Amino acid sequence: KAGVTQTPRYLIKTRGQQVTLSCSPISGHRSVSWYQQTPGQGLQFLFEYFSETQRNKGNFPGRFSGRQFSNSRSEMNVSTLELGDSALYLCASSLDSPDYGYTFGSGTRLTVV
Amino acid sequence: AQTVTQSQPEMSVQEAETVTLSCTYDTSENNYYLFWYKQPPSRQMILVIRQEAYKQQNATENRFSVNFQKAAKSFSLKISDSQLGDTAMYFCAFISQGAQKLVFGQGTRLTINP
Residues of A whose CB is below 8 A from B46: 104
Split at pLDDT 50, 70, 90, the class of B76 is: very high
Given this model, what pLDDT does residue A80 score? 97
pLDDT band at B99 (very low <50, low <70, confident <90, very high): confident
H helix or E strand, kind and range, residue B88:
strand B88-96
Closest by CA to A25, choosing from A49, A42, A53, A8, is A49
CB-based contact (8 Å) between B52 and chain A?
yes
Taking the C-alpha atoms of residue A108 and residue B87, their distance in angstroms, rounded to an integer, is 22
> Any chain B CB within 8 A of the CB of A88?
yes
pLDDT band at B1 (very low <50, low <70, confident <90, very high): confident
Whole-number Å distance between alpha carbons of A86 and B40: 20
Residues of A in contact with B43 (CB under 8 A): 88, 106-107, 109
Q: What percent of chain B has pLDDT over 70?
A: 100
CA B84 to chain CA mean position, Å: 18
User: In Å, how far from its chain's centre is CA B4?
Assistant: 10
pLDDT in tens, chain A (113 residues): 679 999 999 999 999 999 999 999 999 999 999 999 999 999 999 999 999 999 999 999 999 999 999 999 999 999 999 999 999 999 999 987 666 679 999 999 999 99
Q: Is A46 on the interface with B (CB under 8 A)?
A: no
Which of A56, A99, A107 comes nearest B100 by C-beta?
Answer: A56
